[in-house]
Amino acid sequence: MTEQVSIVVTSIFEPNASLQELARGAAQNGWEFLIVGDSKSPANFFLKGAQFFNVEMQRKFNFQLAALCPIGHYTRKNLGYLLAIKNGSAIIVETDDDNIPVEGFWVPRTKFLNSMEITGQGWYNVYSLYSDRPIWPRGLPLENILQNATVELSTNGKDYFSPIQQGLADGNPDVDAIFRMTHLLPLNFNKRQQPIRLAKGLWSPFNSQNTTWYKEAFPLLYLPSYCSFRMTDIWRSFVAQRIAWECNWQLTFHDATVFQERNEHNLLRDFEQEVPGYLFNNKIKQILENAPLRSGVEHIAHNLRVCYNALIKENIISSKEEMELLDAWLHDIEKWS
């Protein structure tokens, strides 16, 4: 039996080339394509092959989170995840409305991958394995850009369970505003023969631009709302990695399967939104490493609460109201999974 796959995107734009190509491919491959709108989305949005949900439609979802999720925030994507889960998806592929799928994107997904393991401790710049040019992912602490962790690469030919898989993006990859203002783009990544996975203790930011999630890891999809727009998926990635270690899971990266034609951005505004990451990402690592988590997949909900309570206590997450959103998320996940 073929597992149901859902693509989840949030957008405030008219159907562009990226959304049209995603819709075409989804229809051809039998994938569900969900687009979550916001208050600025076009009132008459329509795209064949996609299901679009404006704010009023989202409020009618039978989710506790629907009444609490902030307007005008990327985290409305959480409602798209929940809808895919409610609809019976076993695989969620998330991307953005400026990513065009290319070779490999529509290949049938598998959660068991023959991958190369990277072992070490501390921060690791995964992009350094895919490019000969100096480049780092958004979310890598500035003080670690020139201090890459010492690692060892190994493979034993076995397939490994990989419930979170981060794909790269060619063209205009996911880098921070400092990189964009000081380096030239576009850039295409090199191809590797195998995906790579990071062993416990090795940290790397991952994003929401080309990421595959399997059912076992769905609770870790939660995007926090009480933080900057440019950090919500990055800080989610740190929480997800820390909890994944308690499940004996390793984060996997693979070749680029999208090409980004980036929407217009104000780079100074992006920089402003990224400042909390520059200041706190190393502190977040320390907080999460010291968090008293429980081992086992059955403790994911508990561990999410521990992690976010710790980040709130240290004023990384700016409001205790985050826990109300998280509790609603976990209620909805339990109800519809």
Question: Which 3-state string (H, E, C) describes 43-68?
Answer: CCCCCCCCEEECHHHHHCCCCHHHHC
Q: What are the Cα distances from residue 148, in Å, to 41, 98, 142, 143?
A: 41, 30, 11, 10
What is the per-residue pLDDT across 169-191, written as a single tens digit (0 to 9) for each?
Answer: 999 999 999 999 999 999 999 99
- The owner of tokens 């959660």 is 111
What is the per-residue pLDDT across 277-304, written as a single tens digit (0 to 9) for each?
Answer: 999 999 999 999 999 999 999 999 999 9
Q: Is the pLDDT at 267 greater than 70, yes or no?
A: yes
- Beta-bridge partner residues of 160: 113
pTM of the model: 0.97
Q: Is the pLDDT at 41 greater than 70, yes or no?
A: yes
d(C-alpha 234, C-alpha 288), whole Å: 14
Which stretch of DSSP H or E encloses residue 94?
Answer: strand 91-95
Pull the structure tokens for residue 128. Answer: 């350094």
Ordered by where they begin, the domains of the chain are 5-336 (3.90.550)
Pull the structure tokens for residue 287. Answer: 């907080």
- Mean pLDDT is lowest, of 56-60, 255-259, 290-294, for 56-60
Q: Is the pLDDT at 337 greater than 70, yes or no?
A: yes
Q: Is the pLDDT at 257 greater than 90, yes or no?
A: yes
Give pLDDT, residue 153: 87
What is the per-residue pLDDT across 98-139, written as a single tens digit (0 to 9) for each?
Answer: 999 998 999 999 999 999 999 999 999 999 999 999 999 999
> What one-letter code names the amino acid at 258?
V
Q: Name the average pLDDT for the chain.
A: 95
Q: Is the pLDDT at 226 greater than 90, yes or no?
A: yes
User: Are 230 and 273 spatial neighbours (Cβ–Cβ below 8 Å)?
Assistant: yes
Q: How confident is the model at residue 193 (pLDDT cuts 50, 70, 90)?
A: confident
d(C-alpha 26, C-alpha 314), whole Å: 42
DSSP output for 221-234: GPPPSSS-TTTHHH
Over range 224-250, report the average pLDDT. Answer: 97
Give pLDDT, residue 336: 95
* Residue 32 neighbours by CB under 8 Å, 6+ apart: 4, 5, 6, 7, 26, 51, 84, 87, 89
Give pLDDT, residue 1: 61
